[in-house]
């Protein structure tokens, strides 16, 4: 197995592992009476994420270029994004999901990073993850076309999440 194939496998395994955490937390939140916001946008993000990964993988293997400094930079960016994701998951705990839920007993996270940077999961994980993944595979077409499309969906997600947060947390 080449380094690039190993990277792709690792990326898929990490995403499936975080999806399992999300599903577990979602079940718990629903049982606690949590309300979901932006369900259609969550579905769009899920589809966009899978399509981005598949497009980058296909483009990377289609071109079949050798590993380069771009690939290694992409892997480094990707690994940073995964570290950020696991940091966010550990800080949000049982309320972290890939969807937007607010439970009746939901407590606003006021940790330093959440005060300084709104939506660290999006800006320190998702966007760098996609950039890093595409660069690792040298999937420039996917990056140039896919990232702006994903960003439009993500912007909608952020607006919906902001609205939900303002509704439930006046101090937000």
Quote the pLDDT of residue 27.
97
Tens digit of each residue's pLDDT (9 = 90 or more) over 90-140? 999 999 999 999 998 888 888 888 888 889 999 999 999 999 999 999 999
End-to-end CA distance of the chain: 48
pTM for the model stands at 0.92
Alpha-carbon span 132 to 65, nearest angstrom: 16
For Cα atoms 120, 14, 98, give the angle at the middle one, nearest 5 degrees.
45
Percentage of the chain exceeding pLDDT 90: 80
Quote the pLDDT of residue 1.
54
Nearest-10 Cα torsion for 9, 15, 21, 23? -110
Q: Exposed/middle/buried for 80, CB within 10 Å: 0-12, 13-18, 19+? A: middle
Map out the domains of the chain with their CATH numbers.
3-168 (1.20.120.1630)
pLDDT, mean over the chain? 94
φ, ψ of residue 57 to 5 degrees: the values are: -65, -50
Alpha-carbon span 144 to 121, nearest angstrom: 22
Tens digit of each residue's pLDDT (9 = 90 or more) over 28-49? 999 999 999 999 999 999 999 9
């Amino acid at each position: 197995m080449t380094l690039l194939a190993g990277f792709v496998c690792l990326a898929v395994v990490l995403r499936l592992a975080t999806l399992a955490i999300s599903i577990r937390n979602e079940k718990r939140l629903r049982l606690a009476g949590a309300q979901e916001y932006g369900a259609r946008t969550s579905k769009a993000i899920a589809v966009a994420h899978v399509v981005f990964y598949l497009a980058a993988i296909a483009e990377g293997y289609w071109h079949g270029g050798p590993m380069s400094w771009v690939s290694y930079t992409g892997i480094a960016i990707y690994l940073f994004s995964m570290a950020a994701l696991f940091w966010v998951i550990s800080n949000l705990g049982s309320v972290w999901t890939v969807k937007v839920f607010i439970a009746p007993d939901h407590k606003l996270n006021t940790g330093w990073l959440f005060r300084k940077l709104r939506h660290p999961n999006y800006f320190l994980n998702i966007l760098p993850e996609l950039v890093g993944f595409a660069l690792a595979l040298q999937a420039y077409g996917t990056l140039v076309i896919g990232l702006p499309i994903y960003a439009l969906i993500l912007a909608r997600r952020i607006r919906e999440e902001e609205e939900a947060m303002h509704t439930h947390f006046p101090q937000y």
